[in-house]
Amino acid sequence: RVGSATSLSSAVINSRLQELVRLFKERTEKVKEKLIDSDVTSDDESPVASPAAAPLPAPGGELEGDKPSRDDHYCEMLCCTFKHQPWLDRLKSYKFPSSIDPLTNLMYVLWLFFVVMAWNWNCWLIPVRWAFPYQTPANIHYWLLVDYLCDLIYLLDILIFQTRLQFVQGGDIITDKKAMKENYLRSQRFKMDVLCLLPLDFFYFKVGVNPLLRFPRCLKYMAFFEFNNRLEAILTKAYIYRVIRTTAYLLYSLHVNSCLYYWASAYEGLGSTTWVYDGEGNSYIRCYYWAVKTLITIGGLPDPKTLFEIVFQLLNYFTGVFAFSVMIGQMRDVVGAATAGQTYYRSCMDSTIKYMNFYKIPRTVQNRVKTWYEYTWHSQGMLDESELLVQLPDKMRLDIAIDVNYNIVSKVALFQGCDRQMIFDMLKRLRSVVYLPNDYVCKKGEIGREMYIIQAGQVQVLGGPDGKSVLVTLKAGSVFGEISLLAAGGGNRRTANVVAHGFANLFILEKKDLNEILVHYPESQKLLRKKAKKMLKSNNKPKDEKGGPGDALIIPPRADTPKLFKAALAATGRMGGKGPLGRLRWRLKELRAMQ
């Protein structure tokens, strides 16, 4: 009976264990499915509320839990209903920043765009409304509506944005509200902003709606120049915006001249002489055409008749020559700055070709040099990256090097486990080199003094009896030649030929640069020495070869114990290890164990 009871209990336990295993497997499969597909919901049963906690029915007959919450808003789209937050609530929950960084805040740049648009409205349309008969009593309310909308933008810029701009004082970035407001109130910008909002519009009640009373609105030019600086800082091709802006300067000068010409024609009387505007066709287009011919001094204009017309035309000619020459000079500077890199590339290439022709370099070599110039320029946009970064401080050069090269260097097995700061210092020493197709990166037998990291492209390792068989093809992120960094005196010789397969962009780390860095990182130096020993063993480097500089490491190994001293220690060992030599041998064992 006891045996049957024991077997029964063991069977129950086994069945229970099998049930638990099955449940664990099912739960594991569910978790896997949930990890693979985030939309899969859990099948766990939700806890059932106790009867005491059940909600009471509302007077209307339905439970309170069935009613949608007041904060829940739903949007029906196609056949589905999505929960969303109303845009009005999102707008109410938005908090305006207490301080604004004018150099990096894109919201501030967007606001400056609206301010500049309001400024351009005043600068372009005030002369038109003053000279041409486009402002009439029938449409005066439309003009005034846009005018006061621009004034509102000016006012918001003063009250909300300018008083929240951060500034630098004594090297510190000031973000205090009171200090930022006081800094703006003391600035020249505040004086000009107040001046441009002079309420001269009250004179409308006495002299009528004269657009010239809004001329102070054009004094907000500082916002325009600030917008130019901020926009050029965030654009990748800022020279395009500079060309557009310079063209706008020229068009605006022609615009003002056309307004002045119509005013002069109206003053003399439309069609009174052959020089003035005759009043036919579109008045603005005809006057603009006359302004273009005058400022650019094309000629073919009717001769002025009266003294007023002669003086006006002389002033136009002088102003046109001056303005046009300034615009042409500025356009030349903009285009020259945009193509400065291309000009430098062409001058370097022309100088190199002239040098090779003078020394009668073979045509094949010249073609390879030209190919290198073209590929390097088109792939990098520059010939030497170090020239671009030499003006930056050391910290910024390190930040750029980390973003560009750290992902590649951190994957090198040789440097894994080394000090992170040592890797950062090494990134600044990397040098980028471009190899053409079939260029030898290194040759068998030559002394290696650098390590290569493939940034882009592929290289092939050649070997075999003829030295032309492809042993392996290394791709981007691969490393070769690292043994050369660990051999003292550059004594390690290359064991194979490495050829560029197509265009290859490689990073080069020289041995002397690594030695200068490792002086400050002794722990990393020890780690590299251990890895060097393993690599040298794997490459079947002979240990007892004398005179072989390739076996000497950066940190020379500890010298072996002299043979005579070993014999004395062995003799003391046979004697039982007593005496001073025995104690000395025991002490050496302790030191060796500690090492």
User: How many residues are recorded in the chain?
Assistant: 595
> Do residues 497 and 436 make contact, with C-beta atoms less than 8 angstroms apart?
no
453-463 residue pLDDT tens: 888 889 999 88
- Residue 562: predicted pLDDT: 64
Q: Which residue has the tokens 């320029």?
A: 377
175-222 residue pLDDT tens: 899 999 999 999 999 999 999 999 998 999 999 899 999 999 999 999
Buried b / exposed e over 223-259, threshold 16 CB at 10 Å, is beebbbebbeeeeeebbeebeeebeeebeebbbbbbb
30-42 residue pLDDT tens: 766 655 544 444 4
When pLDDT is cut at 50, 70 and 90, the band that residue 6 belongs to is: low
Question: Lowest-pLDDT range, 310-324, 407-421, 579-593?
Answer: 579-593
333-386 residue pLDDT tens: 888 887 887 888 888 889 999 999 988 889 988 898 888 888 888 877 777 766
Q: Residue 352: how many CB atoms within 10 A of its CB?
A: 16
Q: Residue 111: how many CB atoms within 10 A of its CB?
A: 19
When pLDDT is cut at 50, 70 and 90, the band that residue 51 belongs to is: very low
- Residue 582: predicted pLDDT: 63
Question: Higher model confidence: residue 557 or residue 89?
Answer: 89
Question: Higher model confidence: residue 388 or residue 158?
Answer: 158
- Residue 216: predicted pLDDT: 93
* Residue 395 reports pLDDT greater than 90: no
> Do residues 505 and 453 make contact, with C-beta atoms less than 8 angstroms apart?
no
Mean pLDDT of 458-485: 83
Mean pLDDT of 457-484: 83
Mean pLDDT of 399-412: 78
How many whole angstroms separate alpha carbon 421 and alpha carbon 427? 10
- Which CATH architecture fits 237-383? Orthogonal Bundle (1.10)
Tokens of 342: 């291309």
* Residue 327 reports pLDDT greater than 60: yes
- Residue 121: predicted pLDDT: 95
Please give the mean pLDDT across all residues of the chain: 79
128-158 residue pLDDT tens: 999 999 999 999 999 999 999 999 999 999 9
- Residue 56: predicted pLDDT: 44
* Residue 2 reports pLDDT greater than 70: no
66-77 residue pLDDT tens: 444 444 455 554
**Quick one: CA torsion of 127, 130, 135, 140, rounded to 10 degrees?**
90
- Residue 146: predicted pLDDT: 95
How many whole angstroms separate alpha carbon 492 and alpha carbon 480? 13
* Residue 57 reports pLDDT greater than 50: no
* Residue 408 reports pLDDT greater than 80: no
- CB neighbour list of residue 10: distance below 8 Å, 6 or more residues apart: none
When pLDDT is cut at 50, 70 and 90, the band that residue 281 belongs to is: confident
- For the segment(s) 392-540, the CATH number from 3.30.360.10, 2.60.120.10, 3.40.50.720, 3.40.50.300 is 2.60.120.10
- Residue 152: predicted pLDDT: 95
Domain boundaries, the chain: 95-234, 237-383, 392-540
Mean pLDDT of 224-234: 92
Between CA 148 and CA 154, with CA 149 as vertex, the angle to 5 degrees is: 90
When pLDDT is cut at 50, 70 and 90, the band that residue 87 belongs to is: low
Mean pLDDT of 90-105: 81
- Residue 444: predicted pLDDT: 84
Mean pLDDT of 97-124: 93
* Residue 49 reports pLDDT greater than 60: no
* Residue 11 reports pLDDT greater than 50: yes
When pLDDT is cut at 50, 70 and 90, the band that residue 552 belongs to is: very low
- CB neighbour list of residue 483: distance below 8 Å, 6 or more residues apart: 448, 492, 532, 535, 536, 539
- Residue 300: predicted pLDDT: 74
- Residue 432: predicted pLDDT: 84
Mean pLDDT of 555-581: 57
**Radius of gyration of the CA atoms of the chain, in A:** 41
- Residue 45: predicted pLDDT: 42
When pLDDT is cut at 50, 70 and 90, the band that residue 78 belongs to is: very low
Question: Higher model confidence: residue 23 or residue 63?
Answer: 23
Mean pLDDT of 3-21: 72
Q: In CATH terms, are 237-383 and 392-540 the same topology? A: no
Mean pLDDT of 302-310: 89
Mean pLDDT of 443-458: 85
* Residue 522 reports pLDDT greater than 60: yes
Mean pLDDT of 100-122: 93
SS3 string, 119-147, reads HHHHHHHHHHHHHCCCCCCCCHHHHHHHH
Write out the DSSP string of 11-47.
HHHHHHHHHHHHHHHHHHHHHHHHHH-TTPPP-PPPP
When pLDDT is cut at 50, 70 and 90, the band that residue 487 belongs to is: low
Question: Higher model confidence: residue 498 or residue 394?
Answer: 498
